[in-house]
């Protein structure tokens, strides 16, 4: 049965059961917390949570989805794919467990000639959440499945949520037994390769909180309505019905595997490593086709980066199969032809999709070719093993895949230091979390920068001078190479030499100008998108700049002085830290710009005020000592022998620059700009010290005039406080503490009076009690000013004064709040406070609950308080 036919049967079946057929939403999620639609129910979340009224009580869809968290598992298992289709049927307060189970069993087991999918009922298993006896009852009532083929499982396996705040609930999954040749007996608990999950019935009735883990998270309360959300993996069902071994061999994907086999001259099924690569190509090309059809384009950020990764992994896998020539046109066309029956709209967008895919393929091919040249040279210079640093440079600078590096090295009788490569990759990922570089350089593809880098390394002359003359080698506008930039445009300029410092080593980029005959450019930022290449982000303030023009760079002298002060201050504070705390207080990161510095360092505990003061004092004594600041280049072994500190997370060339302050007192490997004497720093004023993670602290300080201005402002503040408090400066702190204590005392007296005033309402409320089911029931909305604590105390006080009662009090505070107290007699009659609180909260658009004797609830709609109290009272009897 073709995949498109399974999709058609699904929609036809549920349409016949009164469901509205809803077309698939685009892959780009409208939820700002998601890049892509990752599950079939995502478009329906607003209806499930009650944020929007559902336009239908029942719906069905076949939703396009993309998940890339398990991208490294693609091709290796039977069930991991980046793009997949999720068949779903949904109920918004209409039907629940009984009907959902009945629908699923009927569609799965009905004969093909009757519109069903024809699964043998003897090969189907079910799992339920461990406490869901109700679901087990319906399985036994609605289907022919025996009890021994129903397994209970915990929250990790049978409780569904999105992983963040939103709808959640227990679920029941349906598995198909592939037979003893695929694994051990014993159902899904024994072997999920033999027993394949094909359908998940989620009984969506709760809202979960953010945080927690997959098998432990907070439940905020019940949803306004009990909903059904089911998902049947279309690809999984297709590979079972088509009699193939995995999702990559179904009719919508297998043609791509066959094409990869033909292109490479290798037989699918002969070598497992080659099979994995063919499956990766098939999966990623199809995913890229669907993403690009929905408007995603390759880029270095967000969704575009995910797409770019898919495309590049495809090229990589083709290379590993021995395919050297471009073949995206053939592969994308094959994928489109395989998918177009299910998605006719692919024809309309295909020309655009193919154009973008071919451009990406060409760009990455150039990157690979450049990387091969570098790799060939490195191999010729290696004896037994290619260094991890070289492998990382190939990956980081040229986008060269590590597994291709490994394969080529092995062909030449070499190993690769993977441990070092993996360490460098991990360090890069950590830096990337706080590094906004990708957002600053205009979003051009790596291959564009690599082409400019191939023209030569940018010579940095900024250590010796603030000005130099050079030549414009290239220009970028909106990520595209152009021949000219005109007045008012933003773009990037590449020069053969520059005096403008590019952001690196924790130091922000220089400000300044680039000028030439007939043009002036304001420099907004300078970055190194690839090693050795300076990209000047500019705004054209006058004239037009063209490729090949002579240009003069000029650094803003005040900016450079401020940056140099801040960077030298960072070295001074680092040395002070190590002097005060010990050599283990090693810098792990930094950032500095004119007037400001921050330094992250290894330390496990917060610094005391005395320690912070001591560090600040040591730093400023070093500044006052007018220590010499110098820099010199030497080999890395020489620098280490000299005692220079190499910073965690940084990689270094064989020749390094060592900056020292006061000789051996501070020696660090550093490429930044610095003052020539420590006294030029001026002043360091520590402003904060905080934690930035386990075993890491951060110290921040103002530098130079910014530090002076800050201290002057604090001095003026103290003077004003002295005047207003009519106290000498030395007594200001004591006077403020005394005033604060008086204020706290007054606030306590006010709270006591308000509580007494609230409790004084109790006798009047007692008189409003009415008899319902033999109980004294008090239900009242309070309009007087009252706090949550006072409302709770008042509810309990009324209950204390009134025997055999149920007390329900509500008030609109920041949000509507309801308190319920239920006496022992009421509880014996089955009237529990927690249940009444849930009833009232549901009307208010929220959730609630608690113990049998006392509970609290609330919501968002204060206008419905009267209706909420009425609903709770109605639930009593």
CATH number of the CATH domain containing 115: 3.30.930.10
Eight-state DSSP code of residue 569? H
Burial class (CB in 10 A: 0-12, 13-18, 19+), 122: exposed
Cα–Cα distance, 700 to 600 (Å, whole number): 9
Domain identity same for 362 and 493: no
Q: Which pLDDT score is estimated for 383?
A: 73
Q: Is 207 part of a structural domain of the chain?
A: yes
The residues, ordered by sequence, that sit 6+ positions from 405 with a Cβ below 8 Å of its Cβ are: 375, 386, 391, 394, 395, 416
Q: Is 633 part of a structural domain of the chain?
A: yes
| Of 618, 610, 623, residue with least CA distance to 579 | 618
**Which residues in 358-375 are b (16+ Cβ under 10 Å) and which e?**
eebbebbbbbbebbbeeb
Measured from the Cβ of residue 609, the count of other Cβ atoms closer than 10 Å reads 8
Q: Model confidence at 84, in pLDDT bands (50, 70, 90)? A: very high
Instruction: Evaluate the CA torsion angle 568, 571, 574, 580 in order and state its sign.
Output: negative
Describe the crossing of helices 732-759 and 788-801 by its angle, rounded to 10 degrees.
Answer: 30
Q: Is 589 part of a structural domain of the chain?
A: yes
DSSP string, 321-372: TT--S--HHHHHHHHHHHHTTT-TTHHHHHHHHHHHHHHHHHHHHHHHHHHH
Mind listing the pLDDT tens digit for each residue in 226-256? 899 999 999 999 999 999 988 999 999 999 9
Coil/strand/helix, residue 768:
coil
Q: Which residue has the tokens 């008042």?
A: 794
Annotated binding site for Zn(2+): 567, 571, 670, 674
Q: Is 625 part of a structural domain of the chain?
A: yes
Q: Which pLDDT score is estimated for 52?
A: 64
Q: Model confidence at 741, in pLDDT bands (50, 70, 90)? A: very high
Cα–Cα distance, 714 to 700 (Å, whole number): 17
CATH number of the CATH domain containing 595: 3.30.980.10
Residues in the chain: 877
Coil/strand/helix, residue 96:
coil
Of the two residues 863 and 77, the one the predictor is more confident about is 863
Q: Which pLDDT score is estimated for 515?
A: 96
Mind listing the pLDDT tens digit for each residue in 516-562? 999 999 999 999 987 789 999 999 999 999 999 999 999 999 999 99
The residues, ordered by sequence, that sit 6+ positions from 476 with a Cβ below 8 Å of its Cβ are: 442, 444, 448, 482, 491, 492, 494, 535
Q: Which pLDDT score is estimated for 434?
A: 42
Residue 693 predicted with pLDDT over 60: no
Tokens of 371: 């990387």
Of the two residues 450 and 793, the one the predictor is more confident about is 793
Q: What average pLDDT score do residues 274-296 get?
A: 93
- The range of the structural domain enclosing residue 264 comes to 252-381
Domain identity same for 43 and 156: yes
The residues, ordered by sequence, that sit 6+ positions from 124 with a Cβ below 8 Å of its Cβ are: 108, 109, 145, 149, 174, 175, 176, 177
Tokens of 332: 């994308």
Last residue of a domain, one of 488, 520, 555: 555
Eight-state DSSP code of residue 36? B
CATH number of the CATH domain containing 785: 3.10.310.40
Residue 649 predicted with pLDDT over 50: no
Q: Which pLDDT score is estimated for 436?
A: 37
Q: Model confidence at 440, in pLDDT bands (50, 70, 90)? A: very low
Q: Which pLDDT score is estimated for 442?
A: 46
Averaged pLDDT score across all residues of the chain: 89
Q: What average pLDDT score do residues 836-864 get?
A: 90
Domain identity same for 551 and 587: no
Domain identity same for 482 and 584: no
- E-assigned strand segments in 629-707: 629-635, 655-661, 666-669, 684-691, 696-703
Q: Is 220 left (phi over 0), alpha (psi -120 to 50) or beta?
A: alpha
Residue 857 predicted with pLDDT over 80: yes
Domain identity same for 235 and 124: yes
Describe the crossing of helices 272-293 and 302-320 by its angle, rounded to 10 degrees.
Answer: 150
Rounded (5°) CA angle 815-821-827: 135
Q: What average pLDDT score do residues 698-720 get?
A: 94
Tokens of 329: 């046109």
Q: Is 29 part of a structural domain of the chain?
A: yes
Cα–Cα distance, 86 to 61 (Å, whole number): 8
Residue 433 predicted with pLDDT over 90: no
Rounded (5°) CA angle 718-722-728: 110
Tokens of 737: 């503490």
Q: Are strands 166-177 and 124-129 parallel, antiparallel or unpaired?
A: antiparallel
Q: What average pLDDT score do residues 593-604 get?
A: 90
- On whether the CB atoms of residues 136 and 256 are closer than 8 A, the answer is no
Cα–Cα distance, 62 to 110 (Å, whole number): 20
Residue 769 predicted with pLDDT over 90: yes
Q: Which pLDDT score is estimated for 233?
A: 93
Domain identity same for 308 and 356: yes
Residue 79 predicted with pLDDT over 70: no
Of the two residues 486 and 655, the one the predictor is more confident about is 486
Above pLDDT 90, what percent of the chain?
A: 62
Domain identity same for 491 and 580: no
| Of 78, 70, 3, residue with least CA distance to 276 | 78
Cα–Cα distance, 6 to 86 (Å, whole number): 12
β-bridge mates for residue 858, sequence order = 817
Q: Model confidence at 636, in pLDDT bands (50, 70, 90)? A: confident
| Of 523, 521, 513, residue with least CA distance to 487 | 521
Q: Which pLDDT score is estimated for 695?
A: 59
Cα–Cα distance, 750 to 743 (Å, whole number): 10
Instruction: Evaluate the CA torsion angle 38, 39, 40, 42 in order and state its sign.
Output: negative
- On whether the CB atoms of residues 132 and 172 are closer than 8 A, the answer is yes
Q: What average pLDDT score do residues 601-610 get?
A: 86
Q: Is 386 part of a structural domain of the chain?
A: no
- Quote the number of domains for the chain: 5
Annotated binding site: 567, 571, 670, 674
The residues, ordered by sequence, that sit 6+ positions from 778 with a Cβ below 8 Å of its Cβ are: 765, 766, 768, 769, 798, 802, 805, 806, 807, 808, 809
Domain identity same for 549 and 477: yes
Domain identity same for 851 and 777: yes
Q: Is 420 part of a structural domain of the chain?
A: no
| Of 446, 118, 101, residue with least CA distance to 304 | 446
CATH number of the CATH domain containing 476: 2.40.30.130
Q: Model confidence at 50, in pLDDT bands (50, 70, 90)? A: low
Burial class (CB in 10 A: 0-12, 13-18, 19+), 66: buried
| Of 227, 211, 212, 126, residue with least CA distance to 168 | 227
Mind listing the pLDDT tens digit for each residue in 88-128? 999 998 999 999 999 999 999 999 999 999 999 999 999 99
Spell out the alpha helix ranges (H) of 72-122.
97-109
Residue 199 predicted with pLDDT over 60: yes
Rounded (5°) CA angle 532-533-535: 150
Domain identity same for 163 and 235: yes
Last residue of a domain, one of 687, 710, 733: 710
Eight-state DSSP code of residue 823? -
Last residue of a domain, one of 525, 555, 585: 555
- On whether the CB atoms of residues 385 and 415 are closer than 8 A, the answer is yes
Domain identity same for 192 and 295: no
Domain identity same for 543 and 623: no
Q: Model confidence at 783, in pLDDT bands (50, 70, 90)? A: confident
Residue 439 predicted with pLDDT over 60: no
Q: Is 726 part of a structural domain of the chain?
A: no
């Amino acid at each position: 049965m073709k995949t498109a036919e399974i999709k058609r049967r699904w929609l036809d079946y549920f349409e016949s059961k009164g469901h509205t057929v809803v077309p698939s939403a685009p892959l780009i999620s409208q939820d700002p917390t998601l890049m892509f639609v990752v599950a079939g129910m995502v478009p329906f979340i607003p209806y499930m949570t009650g944020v929007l009224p559902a336009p239908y009580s029942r719906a069905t869809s076949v939703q396009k989805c993309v998940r890339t968290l398990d991208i490294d598992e693609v091709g290796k298992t039977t069930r991991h794919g980046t793009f997949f289709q999720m068949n779903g049927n949904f109920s918004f307060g209409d039907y629940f467990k009984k009907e959902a189970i009945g629908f699923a069993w009927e569609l799965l087991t009905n004969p093909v000639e009757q519109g069903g999918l024809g699964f043998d009922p003897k090969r189907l298993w079910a799992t339920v959440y461990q406490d869901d006896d109700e679901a087990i009852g319906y399985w036994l009532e609605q289907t022919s499945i025996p009890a021994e083929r129903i397994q209970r499982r915990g929250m990790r396996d049978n409780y569904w949520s999105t992983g963040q705040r939103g709808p959640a609930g227990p679920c029941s999954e349906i598995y198909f037994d592939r037979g003893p040749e695929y694994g051990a007996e014993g159902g899904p608990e024994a072997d999920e390769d033999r027993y394949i999950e094909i359908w998940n019935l989620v009984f969506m009735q709760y809202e979960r909180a953010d945080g927690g883990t997959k098998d432990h998270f907070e439940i905020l309360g019940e949803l306004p309505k009990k909903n059904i959300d089911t998902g049947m993996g279309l690809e999984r069902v297709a590979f079972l019905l088509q009699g193939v071994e995995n999702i990559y061999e179904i009719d919508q994907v297998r043609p791509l595997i066959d094409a990869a086999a033909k292109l490479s001259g290798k037989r699918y099924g002969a070598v497992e490593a080659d099979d994995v690569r063919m499956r990766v190509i098939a999966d990623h090309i199809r995913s890229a086709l669907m993403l690009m059809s929905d408007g995603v384009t390759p880029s270095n950020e967000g969704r575009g980066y995910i797409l770019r990764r898919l495309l590049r992994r495809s090229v990589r896998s083709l290379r590993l199969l021995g395919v050297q020539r471009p073949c995206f046109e053939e592969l994308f066309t094959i994928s489109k032809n395989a998918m177009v029956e299910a998605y006719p709209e692919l024809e309309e967008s295909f020309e655009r999709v193919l154009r973008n895919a071919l451009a990406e393929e060409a760009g990455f091919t150039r990157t690979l070719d450049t990387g091969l040249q570098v790799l060939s040279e490195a191999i010729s210079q290696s004896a037994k093993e290619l260094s991890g640093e070289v492998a990382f440079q190939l990956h980081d600078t040229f986008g060269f895949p590590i597994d291709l590096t490994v394969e080529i090295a092995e062909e030449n009788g070499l190993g690769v230091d993977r441990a070092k490569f993996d360490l460098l990759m991990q360090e890069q990922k950590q830096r990337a979390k706080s590094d906004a570089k990708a957002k600053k350089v205009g979003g051009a593809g790596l291959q564009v920068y690599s082409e400019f880098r191939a023209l030569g390394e940018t010579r940095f002359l900024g250590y010796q001078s603030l000005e130099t003359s050079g030549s414009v080698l290239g220009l970028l506008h909106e990520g595209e190479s152009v021949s000219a930039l005109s007045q008012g445009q933003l773009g990037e300029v590449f020069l053969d030499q520059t005096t403008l410092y590019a952001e690196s080593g924790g130091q922000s980029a220089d400000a300044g100008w680039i000028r030439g005959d007939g043009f002036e450019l304001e420099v907004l930022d300078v970055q190194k998108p690839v090693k050795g290449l300076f990209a000047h982000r500019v705004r054209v303030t006058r004239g037009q700049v063209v490729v090949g023009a002579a240009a003069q760079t000029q650094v803003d002298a005040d900016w450079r002085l401020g940056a140099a002060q801040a960077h030298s201050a960072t070295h001074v504070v680092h040395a002070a830290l190590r002097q005060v705390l010990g050599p283990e207080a090693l810098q792990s990161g930094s950032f500095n710009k004119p007037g400001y510095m921050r330094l992250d360092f290894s330390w496990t505990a917060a610094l005391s005020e005395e320690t912070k003061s001591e560090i600040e004092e040591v730093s400023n004594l070093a500044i006052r000592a007018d220590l010499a600041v110098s820099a010199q280049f030497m080999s890395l072994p020489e620098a280490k022998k000299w005692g220079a500190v190499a910073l965690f997370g940084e990689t270094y060339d064989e020749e390094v620059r060592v900056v020292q302050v006061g000789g051996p007192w501070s020696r660090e490997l550093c490429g930044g700009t610095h003052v020539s004497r420590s006294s030029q720093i001026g002043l360091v004023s520590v402003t904060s010290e905080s934690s930035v993670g386990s075993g890491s602290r951060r110290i921040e300080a103002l530098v130079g005039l910014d530090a002076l201005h800050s201290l002057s402002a604090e001095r003026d503040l103290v003077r004003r406080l002295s005047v207003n408090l009519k106290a000498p400066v030395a007594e200001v702190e004591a006077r403020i503490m005394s005033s604060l204590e008086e204020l706290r005392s007054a606030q306590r007296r006010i709270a006591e009076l308000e509580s007494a005033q609230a409790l004084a309402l109790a006798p009047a409320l007692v008189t409003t009690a009415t008899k319902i089911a033999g109980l004294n029931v008090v239900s009242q909305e309070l309009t007087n000013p009252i706090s949550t604590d006072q409302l709770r105390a008042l509810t309990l006080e009324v209950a204390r004064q009134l025997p055999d009662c149920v007390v329900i009090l509500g008030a609109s505070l920041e949000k509507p709040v309801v308190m319920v107290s239920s006496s022992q007699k009421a509880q014996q009659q089955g009237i529990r406070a927690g249940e009444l609180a849930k009833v009232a909260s549901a009307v208010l658009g929220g959730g609630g609950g608690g113990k049998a004797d006392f509970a609290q609830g609330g919501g968002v709609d204060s206008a419905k308080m009267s209706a909420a109290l009425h609903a709770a009272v109605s639930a009593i009897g």
